[in-house]
Amino acid sequence: MQPSGESLHLGNYVGALVNWVKTQEQYEAFFFIPDLHGITVPHDPQALRERTRNTAAQFIAGGIDPDRSTLFVQSHVPEHAQLAWVLTCMTGMGEAARMTQFKDKSAKQGAEASSVGLLSYPMLMAADILLYQPHGVPVGDDQKQHVELTRNLAQRFNYRFGETFRVPEPFIPEVGARIYDLQEPTAKMSKSASSPNGLININDSDTKIAKKIKSAVTDDGTEIRFDREQKPGVSNLLSIYSAVTGKSIPELVAEYQGKMYGHLKVDLAEVVVARIGPVRDRTLELLDDPGELDRLLAKGAAKARHTAATTLAEVYDKVGFLPAAPV
């Protein structure tokens, strides 16, 4: 998750982070903050630094265990950029330009305002993945195209230079995949929300969280039921409630039969505050000791480089780069 906003939001938390925490129970997992991806658009350097540290703190506060998993900052492992260049040289211009996210973003901001980094960042994403020879990549359904490019590049490299990369599979969680904006419940909750009231941030106060939920857009009528087409507002509230508590949506619908939207909102505010409050408080504790947080990230980067350097050395050898002689 890019450090592009002041905080991760509820959609990031229940849609991705909660599932990532589960994967570390079963797999050897690598998690990183993609700050190299964060400079494909104009940015403020100091804000990037602060947001990177804040995102790392929220990862840990949300349940990523630096002792169990490998947690690091992308720019601390230079092998990401080094492998990205090799993969960029194996990617066709048309192939890169067909990436949906590039087409969408460049159409919005215009070709002259779009950086080459925006065009080539899927190759950096491929390097992010292939360096660690993973079996699977946990992604949202909007990233499947990038994983397909990664698979294609791995297969292309293996064909040209010999078996080198494991070809990874996309791992798309089925639960909590999408939380919608509280003010625009047909749009995914996003850091670029048109109204800050549509977004529940991890670092929001209890009062602010409750206020945003109680002012959430609902629908015509008074019946509480799940219907994404006819009742997107109420359906979104039910989805959030289910994701935060683990209760099924049918169970919640039965529980609120005959009740008003206000009852649902009051109860939802309470359970969201109970879930998010401790994560926010732990984040603030970690940020109060930046030295310790940086130590944990350095430890993770060293562990990541052990794996990444092995992969990159094999790639450099196979493409024909002259090895540096010891001084």
Quote the crossing angle between the two packed helices 45-61 and 290-319, to the nearest 10°. 100
Buried residues in 116-138 as b, exposed as e (16+ CB within 10 A): eebbbbbbbbbbbbbbbebeebb
Please tell me whether 65 is known to bind a ligand.
Answer: no
Alpha helices in the chain (DSSP H): 10-12, 18-26, 45-61, 79-88, 93-97, 100-109, 116-130, 144-161, 206-214, 232-245, 249-255, 261-287, 290-319
Distance CA 216, CA 199 (A): 10
Q: Is 208 annotated as a binding residue?
A: no
What lies within 8 Å, CB to CB, of 308 at 6+ separation is 77, 79, 80, 83, 131, 132
- Note whether 225 and 234 are within 8 A (CB): yes
Which one is catalytic: 22, 144, 191, 208? 191
Q: Is there a binding annotation on residue 15?
A: no
Q: What tokens were used for 185?
A: 């419940």
Is 190 known to sit in a ligand binding site?
yes
152 labelled ligand-binding: no
Taking the C-alpha atoms of residue 54 and residue 225, their distance in angstroms, rounded to an integer, is 37
- Choose, from 22, 144, 188, 247, the residue flagged as catalytic: 188
Q: Is 247 assigned to a binding site?
A: no
Rounded Cα distance, 177 and 61, in Å: 20
Residue 191 a catalytic site member: yes
Task: Tell me the C-alpha distance between 150 and 33, whole Å.
Answer: 19
Distance between terminal CA atoms of the chain? 40
Tokens standing for residue 308: 């990444």
192 in a labelled binding site: yes
12 assigned to a ligand binding site: yes
d(C-alpha 182, C-alpha 187), whole Å: 9
Q: Is 142 annotated as a binding residue?
A: yes
Q: Active site includes 105?
A: yes
Ligand-binding site membership of 140 (annotated)? yes
* Active-site annotation holds for 188: yes
Q: Which residues are the active-site residues? A: 105, 188, 191
Annotated binding site: 2-4, 11-12, 128, 140-142, 179, 188-192
Annotated binding site for L-tryptophan: 128
Annotated binding site for ATP: 2-4, 11-12, 140-142, 179, 188-192
